[in-house]
A and B are shown apart, each in its own frame.
Chain A
């Protein structure tokens, strides 16, 4: 019966309507690949080679890689150390620290960079960028690793200790290897984010592929060198994004059915207690305290104070006007993908489920560039309309919507719908009266998450928003980019307020929702 049962739950091919519903999102997310293919083909092999071996390209490549690796290494170190201290040591107020340590995610990287850059221009450098980005993104490592440590069977640690290994040897020999998939997924996530980061780097005046592509784009929409640089950037991003998705999926499965393990008594820190405690306080100071204090300072001091005040209402309206419809569209596109993958099997459903996870690892910049190019050449009427921006949102955020929806779709079992049909309801009636009410809370949560995420989105919005439309994020960036720190402050403060509710999602413990841009 077991075999029959698994087959029964997953018919080989989804019904036609579902296939049709999965095709538009699949088509949309393939657009950047089309763009890159087209442009490379236009440039021809000789053109590609000559662009790639230019000194400028190599310099950008070096900068991009140094930055990405530096931040990833730093985030792994800090994230893992904090996870171990908070989950496994007798620190006072561990539950509170758990939230504190994930809070920096609520500060968008470009807001933190703006804050630090306004403190001293010394931070406008590669070293400064690595420092600032590390303390902002380490929660991407902290969250999965601490979840792994929490869920770990304590028996391994006990056995290792009873076999004569000390606490350090046990950590490296028994604990860390088990947390490795979580650590790896977190590291790859940081890596993809760093390849894709634009806002922070442009404010910190660091030259990487993204900032260079943006400059070429500002000079000329159709820049061939921007296109070829995006090809190189995509070649960096896609493997990392693909690997991250693989690791993350593996982790999701391996956690099923672990049950409630015994909890291990925490490791006594002894004399180290005060230093560790102080270090954690310092981290919070740096990642949260400094940005907030700086923004607070600029709210009341500074020459450019009040210069942007007339733009506050339009920016709020702009943020709401883009993020609400954007969220609806992304969730509506994600829903059939999730249904196809949860309820059915087969190649198409599998592809529809996975592909968005890989594509969303692409920089918002490349996606925006691709959409600009394609809309100018092939879809002139939609060029510079919000529609193009919504397509970009879909590419960047589909997986997050998918992850947010999956749990509730999994709970709404198909057999409940069967029962409803057995009791005399039509297929549509059964869906409306049984499945829909059960997934509505999930849809609501996904919409809320999406609205918050879209309000923080900078790069694609900056490049694709219809002319005359500004958002909180783009206002922060343009004022800060012009050195008007005080003018940027009210927008940054509002953005932090918007981000605060995201903490609710971080602390719910769904490992797939940690991925914030």
Chain B
């Protein structure tokens, strides 16, 4: 069963292309994180799903019904989609309870449902407050409650915790994801923070320059990114030039075993290493690297190393003294033909 299906979605503003052919499927009841940098078109995609704007081309399906495509466009009020924007956008002239009850029809049991969702987000005592009397985190929770109240078939979260400080953001994110899982609502969470995406989502779609470059489980996109761009967007990435030799990639810092199906011998490749694959070793077995910089961070230290003209950061619990270290590569690497 699909929750959301997007097919060949395009959108541009004036001459600027924002989305150029997006295909994406979100299974019903699952949580998808839309991960991408600023300007990648992820917010636009969310607004198209909500129906605030029309795509120039392509189709949008929610469940089994067509929202846009084949000459049809369903206006936002008939889509039953919950939307939580970045700044919450609470109605300033309504109390918390009336904000939350706004999407409920008069016939529905309004008050009990309002109380129920306010209990879920732990704001029962704030029902009669106005938005300006709440903290940023509380406002976001009200915005979520308001979106959840009418039992939407899909909830869209647009970097909902961006305005909060890091600690609160992680906590909120965890809390919200737990709530949505419990409710079994299909969810799309827009974020530019890979850690948030991995922690929250069943699926991560990496989007850049208006296309979805890869969609998969968090481990898939992190461990086997489809290209160098995805690798960079999903975490720290060390990218090296290499040449294939006996199923290993020969690089500046040694020959590294290749995961999956290696290129033929002699093929030129780009090699991806994650910093945690690099271990500091003894002089006898490893490649020598100069230490350019040390950043002591308390529980660990980040070393900036250089091998010839390549520079990269590694983390270590026990930083060596001296000006050089020796490197050993753990595990295998991902490669792409160059």
A4 and B18 within 8 A (CB): yes
Considering the chains assembled together, what is the distance between the CA atoms of A422 and B38 in angstroms?
A: 24
**Interface size band for A:** 20 to 34
One of B39-47, B195-203, B293-301, B318-326 contacting the partner: B39-47
Tell me whether A448 is interfacial, beta carbon within 8 Å.
no
- Taking CB as reference atom, which chain B residue is nearest A412? B92
Given A421-B76, A438-B93, residue A7 in contact with residue B13 (CB < 8 A)? yes
Q: Which residues of A sit under 8 angstroms from B78, Cβ to Cβ?
A: 424
Q: Which residue of B lies closest to A8 (CB)?
A: B13
In the assembled complex, the CB of A414 is this many whole angstroms from the nearest CB of chain B, namely 9
B39-63, CB < 8 A from A: 39-41, 43-44, 47, 50-53
Q: How far is the CB of A428 from chain B (nearest CB, A)?
A: 11
Shortest C-beta distance, A419 to chain B (Å), equals 5
In the complex, given contacts A421-B77, A423-B147, what are 19 additional A-B residue pairs having Cβ atoms less than 8 angstroms apart? Answer: A1-B39, A4-B39, A7-B13, A8-B44, A413-B89, A415-B85, A416-B89, A418-B52, A419-B91, A419-B146, A420-B91, A422-B52, A422-B76, A422-B77, A422-B81, A422-B147, A423-B146, A424-B103, A438-B91
Interface residues in B, total, Cβ within 8 A: 35
Which residue of chain A lies nearest to B50 when distances are taken between CB atoms in the complex?
A: A422
Residues in B neighbouring A254, C-beta threshold 8 A: none
B-side residues, CB < 8 A to A, are 13-14, 16, 18, 38-41, 43-44, 47, 50-53, 75-83, 85, 89, 91-93, 102-103, 105, 146-147, 150
- Cα distance A413–B93 in the bound complex, in angstroms: 13
Q: Taking the complex as formed, is A89 at the interface, i.e. its CB lies under 8 A from any CB of chain B?
A: no
What are 21 of the A-B contact pairs (CB < 8 Å)? A3-B13, A4-B13, A4-B44, A8-B13, A12-B14, A413-B89, A416-B91, A419-B89, A419-B91, A422-B79, A422-B82, A422-B83, A422-B103, A423-B102, A423-B103, A423-B146, A425-B77, A426-B77, A427-B75, A429-B77, A438-B93
How many angstroms between the C-alpha atoms of A5 and B158 in the bound complex? 13
The answer to whether B150 touches A423 (Cβ under 8 A) is: yes
Kindly state the separation between the CA atoms of A5 and B46 in the bound complex, as whole angstroms.
Answer: 13
Known A413-B89, A437-B93, A438-B92; judge A420-B39 contact (CB<8 A): no
Q: Is B81's CB under 8 angstroms from A4's CB?
A: no
- Given the complex, which residues of A lie within 8 Å of B83, measured CB to CB? 418-419, 422
Q: How many residue-residue contacts, CB under 8 A, span A and B? A: 81
**Cα distance, A4 to B18, chains bound together (Å):** 7
Contacts of B79 in A (CB 8 A): 422
Would you call B39 and A418 a contact (CB within 8 A)? Answer: no
* Distance of B68 from chain A, by nearest CB (Å): 15
> Could you give, for residues 386-420 of chain A, a 1 whenever the CB lies within 8 Å of some chain B CB and a 0 otherwise?
00000000000000000000000000010110111
* A415/B38 contact (C-beta < 8 A), A4-B13, A8-B13 known: no
In the assembled complex, the Cα of A5 lies from the Cα of B105 at a distance in Å of: 32
Question: Across the interface, which residues of A come within 8 angstroms of B92, CB to CB?
Answer: 438
* A7, A416, A430: the one within 8 Å of B14 (CB): A7
Closest chain B CB from A168 CB (angstroms): 46
Could you say which of B14, B50, B53, B93 has the most chain A C-beta atoms within 10 Å of its C-beta? Answer: B93
